[in-house]
Structures are given as C-alpha cells and as structure tokens.
C-alpha cells in the first residue's frame, strides 16, 4: 500500500510539473526546468554520504555495539554491510544515506546509544537498513528534483504574469500568478507525502528485518519522540531533517502539514498492529 502511495504521489508531482510547464513554457520549458533541477540535486545525491556525515561530524566505527547490531542485521538478511558512524550529538536520533546499497551509510547519535536497549537499537537500525534496501534516498532525490523544477517554473510564471508572457496568446496573468503561488505549495505537500509514505514503509520493512518483530522499533520510537520533543537536536540543517528516523525539528499545529515525518503515535499504532505479515 505504501509503495502504491509513493507511485501515486510521484505521478501527481509529475503532473503538477507538466501542468505548470505547459502553462508557462510548454513541454520544452518543463523539460528545461527539470534538467536545471536535476543538475542542482545530482551533487547532493551522489555525495550525500560524505556531505551529511561531515555536516554532523560523524566518526566511522568498525567495532562496538552499533557496528555489531548493523552487522548482525546484514548477515541475517543477506544485505550489503554499510559504513557505520556515530554522531557526537546528545539528542537521540539516526539516519541512513548514500546513493545505493553499495555506497550506504547508517549513523546514530551518541544520545541514541545511551537510551536504547540492544533490541530497540536493532529496531532503529533495521528501519534505516530498510531505507537503504528500498533506495529511498534515490526516491527522495527524484521527488526533490521534480519539486525543484516546479519551483523554478513558478518563478517563470511570475515573470510571465508581470510581462504578459505565457505559452499561448492571451494567457491570463491572474491565472499565471495564482499558479506561481499554489503550484510550489502543492509540490511541497506532495513531496512531504512521499517522504511520510517511505517512513511508514521503512517501519514495516524494519520490522521484517528484525525477524518480523515490530515491537523493538515501536518501543524505540516512543523514547526518541519524547527525547526530541523535550530537547530537539541543535543546529539541524532543515534540508537534512527528512533523513532522520524522527523529526529533529520542533513541530506541532500547522507545521505538521509540511512535516516529512508521519506522527509517531500513528507509526507506533501501525507497528503494534502488525501481528502477522
């Protein structure tokens, strides 16, 4: 179901791009915007492991509890062993990145290591390995590329509305202006929906990797949510917030609409309802 949702939202995001592209610059304009956005996102996708690890001052480990848990998960499920890093942050959290399973990185903060049991740690790292297995970094990068192209076309729509441009004669400047405002917002909402769908799927996939045991991750999520609400991670780059297993930024109210993470209560409820697969 989550995979179908991802396909649906990716299709919807593409239709938003085609719609605004056709209104402003035709198919050629939409394609050009897509190329520009792809060029902007390619570097961050290809070097995501190095960029994010350096940003959070991660240190690679080749032994210890975290490494052993990841190694056990990989051996048990026939997965490629990723590089393992510990981040010097006291707020408990974790993420996975890398352009493919052969160039993957999983990372956990020092705070996460301090508050979770071995079983809970396994649930968290299984979630991250599920992201790696299903190439969610690639999916997120494609979604970001299309959303970026929509934003670029929206800027073109603004200029077209001001100077009377558009793909067709007699284009309505008010309609172009409205499209310039609402198309990027729609693209952002769809992009966030894709991210939330992948989180649900990673929860489910992580439970499978733990021997069909969803309770390890459910227990860990409760602890992580409480810790991040009381003391969010300082100096978080918003562009990387979607990568973490729980939202490292303060949310609530209207902000939840634009959150890359589904509510933890719902994630826990779904996990605990997984009595069979």
Active site residues: 128
Note whether 151 and 161 are within 8 A (CB).
Answer: no
Token digits of residue 116: 């979770």
Strand ordering across the sheet containing 105-109: 59-60, 83-87, 105-109, 94-97
Question: Residue written as tokens 């004669």?
Answer: 169
C-beta atoms surrounding 170 within 10 Å: 6
Note whether 93 and 248 are within 8 A (CB).
Answer: yes
Residue 215 assigned to a binding site: no
* Whole-angstrom distance, CA of residue 184 vs CA of residue 189: 9
Residue 242 assigned to a binding site: no
Note whether 166 and 22 are within 8 A (CB).
Answer: no
Note whether 184 and 33 are within 8 A (CB).
Answer: no
Helix ranges (DSSP H) in 47-167: 48-55, 65-77, 110-115, 118-133, 136-163
Residue 199 assigned to a binding site: yes
Tell me the binding residues. 127, 131, 199
Tell me the binding residues for Zn(2+). 127, 131, 199
């Amino acid at each position: 179901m989550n995979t179908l949702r991802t396909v649906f939202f990716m299709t919807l995001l593409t239709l938003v791009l085609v719609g605004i592209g056709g209104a402003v610059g035709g198919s050629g304009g939409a394609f050009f915007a897509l190329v520009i956005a792809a060029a902007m996102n390619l570097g961050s996708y290809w070097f995501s492991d190095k960029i994010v690890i350096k940003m959070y001052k991660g240190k690679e480990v080749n032994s210890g509890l975290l490494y052993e848990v990841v190694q056990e998960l990989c051996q048990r499920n026939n997965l490629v062993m990723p590089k393992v890093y510990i981040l010097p942050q006291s707020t408990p959290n974790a993420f996975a990145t890398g352009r493919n399973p052969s160039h993957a990185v999983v990372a956990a903060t020092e705070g996460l290591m301090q508050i979770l049991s071995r079983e809970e740690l396994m649930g968290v790292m299984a979630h991250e390995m599920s992201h790696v297995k299903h190439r969610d970094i690639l999916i997120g990068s494609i979604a970001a590329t299309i959303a970026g192209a929509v934003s670029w076309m929206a800027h073109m729509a603004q200029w077209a509305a001001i100077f009377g441009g558009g793909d067709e004669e007699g284009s309505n400047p008010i309609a172009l202006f409205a499209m310039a405002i609402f198309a990027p917002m729609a693209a952002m909402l769809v992009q966030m929906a894709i991210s939330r769908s992948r989180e649900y799927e990673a929860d489910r996939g992580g439970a499978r990797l733990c021997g069909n045991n969803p309770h390890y991750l459910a227990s860990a999520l409760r602890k992580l949510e409480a810790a991040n609400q009381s003391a969010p991670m300082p100096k978080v780059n918003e562009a990387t917030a979607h990568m973490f297993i729980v939202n490292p930024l303060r949310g609530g109210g209207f902000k939840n609409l634009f959150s890359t993470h589904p509510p933890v209560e719902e994630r826990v409820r779904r996990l605990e309802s997984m009595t069979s697969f």
